[in-house]
Amino acid sequence: MSTTILTDEAAQLAEIVADVVTTWELPVAGGLVSEAEHFHEQWKVAEELGWTTILDDVDCTSFEALAGSAELIDAAAAATRALAHAGAALPVRQTLVARALAVQPTAPGQIVVSAHSFGVWDPIATVVVGADGTTEARAVPGSVDRDVAGRPLHRTDPPEDLGDRPDGVLAQFLLVHEIAGAASGAIEQARAYVSSRVQFGRPLIKLPAVAQELGRLTIAQLQLDEAIAEFARRLHTADPERIRFAATAARALAGDVASDVATQAHQLHGALGLTADATLRHRTLLLWADRDEGLHQRSWGGHTLPTREVDLWSLSEPEHAHRL
């Protein structure tokens, strides 16, 4: 798994998460994840290793506070990315954001959700955090629907401006990392398959069309990683306008990359990618689910963009250049 856009400490955490998850047995792709045989055991491991509490001390009430917690946010992104790369669907991302939003401490081991979860994992959550940070315990799980990745889902109608707030930006930052992780995992699987699959006396990757498609997907992944890196750089600035613009750009690009990688990874695998033995679907179903998560309600920030071209160019200027 590529960790080049992460800090050294975050990259080390990503490697630890990857090492732990590599031994996990994944559930049947598309089945209800929360009812899988090893779900509760794996959730307990994530909780005991501290993956769900990384953001407990982060203040997400202002962009200035987020800027002061950049290292913790990078660590949370690393854990989220590594889990997605492995195709492991756990409520870590949603719990991280909800615990950061909560104004009162939440007991460890809880599955915690907020409006930023857009209903994903809501039916089995034991604590719900409101928009004002107050917590509400839930004793009885609700009815269980599921999204395309098999995660339990309760469709909700959160505020339309949710993504414009500091806590909403934090949620989007972890979401695009999750998409990037699943995309890189799918690309790696596709490359491994066409490198080992032999037809007409040579590996499929020797066919120019196959090699070209893999190269194109890799470039798309690199473009997404750079958009996320720019998003991360702007979190340090506490500049709401430039941070929101980077969040909007990264989210839009992540949606395009998710669709492209999921479709073409299956194209490269052929029918084998749809079999129960293949783990490709754990990544591609997560890509499709994350791409569509809360999409009809999510604020894309378009209404906040300036109308003058010169102002739009200023927002597009990379952060390292902007600070000179």
What are 100-128's pLDDT values in tens digits?
999 988 888 899 999 888 889 999 999 99
Contact of 181 with 82, CB cutoff 8 Å: yes
Neighbours of 287 (CB within 10 A): 30
- Give how far the C-alpha of residue 70 lies from the chain's centroid of Cα atoms, to the nearest Å: 17
Residue 58, phi-psi category: left (phi > 0), alpha (psi -120 to 50), beta (remainder): beta
Q: DSSP letters along 249-310, please?
A: HHHHHHHHHHHHHHHHHHHHHGGGGGSTT--HHHHHHHHHHHHHTTTTT---SGGGS-SSHH
The two counts, helices (H) then strands (E), for the chain are: 11, 7
pTM, two decimal places: 0.93
pLDDT, residue 195, reads: 92
Q: Which two tokens stand for residue 253?
A: 């690009």
CA distance 296 to 301: 13
Q: For residue range 30-79, what is the model confidence (pLDDT) as tens digits?
A: 889 999 999 999 999 999 999 999 999 999 999 999 999 999 999 999 99
Contact of 249 with 112, CB cutoff 8 Å: no
Neighbours of 191 (CB within 10 A): 18
> For residue 23, is pLDDT > 50?
yes
Q: Where in the chain is the domain with CATH 1.20.140.10?
A: 163-322
Q: Which two tokens stand for residue 9?
A: 């400490």
> For residue 255, is pLDDT > 70?
yes
pLDDT, residue 312, reads: 80
**CATH code given to domain 163-322:** 1.20.140.10
Residue 155: band (very low, low, confident or very high) from pLDDT cuts 50, 70, 90: confident
